[in-house]
């Protein structure tokens, strides 16, 4: 393995990154989560046990790994502590295993209230957020009213910051949304300090730690959350998340120089079809029996919310865009086995808009909403690929599917996931 590797989503999230990071973690010294918050969910299956991780890197399930939550992440302390309790049967002692950036921002109860109010006010134009307070926490961060982990080390300073932040939230709730705001600042203040006591010994300068590690030749696995098409800058704005969920978020989310991260390989994880949670345009969405079959066969329900995911055929216009934006060295294709029982498999190779063919993913939502996918139809393989571990046992029709992806994106498919278990995968290249 290379000294550093980035694993990120190349669609609208939920691509199965958790399993891939869990699978590759044994080969790396550090596993790093660099953006997003508890609005992301990675499900990892170990034997008969399932772990749903939202903040803690998947490497926590392996002995001897240093797991970093860096400055680009926004942290709800109560959810972090709850998650630590869920994995303590594996991690046992977190000291020396979990490291939390002192520069990371904190999600507070008033952020969750503002999230709900903002979403409700949008009516039919709602984004479809998880209502975890992530967007408002990032708004506080960029509005310079946020509170960082380091601020909790000085209780008096923290109290002043909290008073200002909650006063701002109260004004927004009452004057913009016309809703009474009755949060108890004393309760939140003391609860936060109590939660901080549980993680204080894990807090450090993760940027410095990573800088030293990379210069010493340590192997680092960077774990992205959500997916490229939800990136705040490059995704289907405004139906996006509140952070750079593509490779663009690596440097600002870790505090590590581009010169160091530039040496990393980047693999984008893509399902063999596409899913999306929440609102926003989705050119290949299927609202028929085929879409329901994808949902049922793929168990497509959100890790964080439990919401049924919207499903559609693989979109190579979007995947080509993701490959370019991220500079992807390879594609890791997951849930190939979900397509096992389709007579025909469609793949979008272009869009049609106003009688013209479009090969590049448009920025305009108006254009995107008017795009109709131009499909290439492939013959299904109609045999089980679930659990396959040898590439020479893949049916010819599956290879045709893989070859089409490589031709259209200009990016090699390097690995296949053929089931949810750790052992169910095939390295192709």
Strands 105-106 and 425-427: unpaired
Q: What is the DSSP string of 28-95?
A: -SEEEE-SB-TT--EEEEETTEEEEESSS-GGGGSTT-EEEE-TTBEE-HHHHHHHHHHHHHHH---T
- Scanning 299-342, the segments in alpha helix (DSSP H) are 316-326
Please, which residues have CB within 8 angstroms of residue 60's CB and are 6 or more apart in sequence? 31, 53, 67, 87, 90, 91, 97, 98
Query: How many whole angstroms separate alpha carbon 116 and alpha carbon 129?
Result: 9
Residue 415 DSSP label: E
In SS3 terms, 214-238 reads as HHCCCCEEEECCCCHHHCCCCCCCC
Nearest to 100 by CA among 34, 36, 163, 53: 34
| Residue labelled with tokens 């790994």 | 65
Q: Is 42 a residue of the active site?
A: yes
The C-alpha atoms of residue 167 and residue 319 are separated, in whole angstroms, by: 43
Burial label for 273, CB within 10 Å (0-12, 13-18, 19+), is buried
From the candidates 22, 27, 29, 42, which is the catalytic residue?
42
| Residues pairing with 101 in the sheet | 204
Contact at 8 Å (CB) between 46 and 61?
A: yes
- The secondary element (H helix, E strand) that includes residue 397 is helix 396-409
Structure tokens at 22: 């869990």
**Which uninterrupted H or E stretch holds 4?**
strand 4-9
Kindly state the greatest CA–CA separation across the chain: 67
Residues 14, 22, 115, 337: which is the catalytic one?
A: 14
Q: Are 112 and 133 in contact (CB under 8 A)?
A: yes
Catalytic machinery residues: 14, 42
């Amino acid at each position: 393995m290379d000294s550093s590797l980035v694993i990120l989503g190349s669609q609208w999230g939920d691509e199965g990154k958790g399993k891939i990071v869990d699978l590759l973690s044994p080969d790396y010294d550090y596993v790093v989560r660099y953006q997003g918050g508890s609005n992301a969910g990675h499900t990892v299956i170990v034997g008969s046990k399932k772990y749903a991780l939202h903040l803690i890197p998947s490497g926590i399930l392996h002995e001897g790994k240093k797991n970093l939550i860096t400055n680009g992440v926004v942290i709800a302390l109560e959810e972090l502590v709850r998650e630590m309790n869920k994995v303590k049967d594996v991690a046992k002692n977190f000291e020396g295993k979990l490291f939390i950036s002192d520069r990371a921002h904190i999600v507070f109860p008033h952020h969750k209230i503002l999230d709900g109010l903002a979403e409700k006010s949008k009516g039919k134009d709602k984004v479809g957020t998880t209502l975890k307070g992530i967007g408002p926490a990032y708004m506080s961060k960029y509005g310079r009213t946020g509170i960082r982990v380091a601020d909790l080390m000085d209780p008096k300073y923290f109290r002043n910051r909290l008073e200002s932040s909650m006063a701002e939230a109260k004004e927004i709730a009452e004057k913009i949304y016309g809703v009474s705001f009755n949060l108890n600042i004393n309760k939140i203040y003391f609860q936060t300090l109590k939660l901080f006591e549980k993680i204080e010994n894990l807090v450090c300068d993760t940027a410095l730690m990573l800088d030293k590690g990379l210069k010493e030749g340590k192997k680092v696995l960077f774990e992205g959350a959500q997916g490229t098409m939800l990136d705040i800058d490059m995704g289907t704005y405004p139906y996006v998340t509140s952070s750079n969920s593509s490779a663009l978020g690596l440097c600002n989310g870790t505090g590590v120089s581009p010169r160091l991260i530039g040496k990393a390989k980047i693999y984008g994880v893509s399902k063999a079809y596409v899913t999306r949670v929440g609102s926003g345009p989705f050119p290949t969405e299927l609202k028929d029996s085929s879409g329901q079959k994808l949902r049922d066969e793929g168990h497509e329900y959100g890790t964080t919310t439990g919401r049924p995911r919207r499903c559609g055929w693989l979109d190579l216009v979007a995947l080509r865009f993701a490959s370019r934006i991220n500079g992807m060295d390879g594609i890791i294709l997951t849930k190939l086995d979900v397509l096992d029982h389709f007579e025909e498999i469609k793949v979008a190779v272009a869009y049609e808009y106003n009688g013209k063919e479009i090969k590049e993913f448009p920025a305009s939502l108006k254009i995107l909403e008017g795009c109709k996918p131009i499909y290439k139809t492939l013959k299904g393989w109609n045999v089980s690929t679930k659990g396959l571990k040898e590439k020479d046992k893949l049916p010819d029709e599956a290879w045709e599917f893989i070859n089409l992806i490589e031709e259209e994106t200009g990016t090699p498919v390097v690995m296949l996931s053929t089931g949810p278990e750790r052992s169910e995968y095939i390295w192709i290249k």
